[in-house]
Amino acid sequence: MSREDPQLKIRLPLELKEKITQSAADHGRSINSEVVARLEQSFSAPETTQSLLEEAVMLTLKAVKDDPSLLNNPKVSTKYVADNNAEKDTVEFINKNKAP
């Protein structure tokens, strides 16, 4: 990155600035480099996020299958659904505070 790259002035909460500053120090980079790296990562993340989410769902299903007592929590249930004509296990998180 050079001084000729466009500059952007932003406002952010003090707590967020402190987190960025700490993360930059942890990674051995400048605050600017930390912000740029995190922004670049966020734009390339949809595929990664989707795969992590799918993995989390599968691990949750395995945990429920291994220990069905986890379903005693009234805010968690499992169901079988068809997705693109293929059956898949899913986990549904139910917010009992919302009206149906």
* Least confident interval from 11-15, 42-46, 92-96: 92-96
The tens digit of pLDDT for each residue in 43-93 reads: 876 677 777 888 888 888 888 888 878 777 656 555 545 455 555 555 555
Euclidean distance between CA atoms 59 and 89, whole angstroms: 11
* Helix, coil or strand: residue 55: helix
Tell me, yes or no, whether 61 and 27 share the same domain: no
Residue range of the domain that includes 29: 14-44
pLDDT of 73 reads: 65
| Domain assignment present for 62 | yes
Tell me, what DSSP letter sits at residue 97? T
Specify the pTM: 0.46
Provide the number of structural domains found in the chain: 2
| Residue 35 scores a pLDDT above 90 | yes
Euclidean distance between CA atoms 59 and 70, whole angstroms: 13
Euclidean distance between CA atoms 100 and 47, whole angstroms: 32
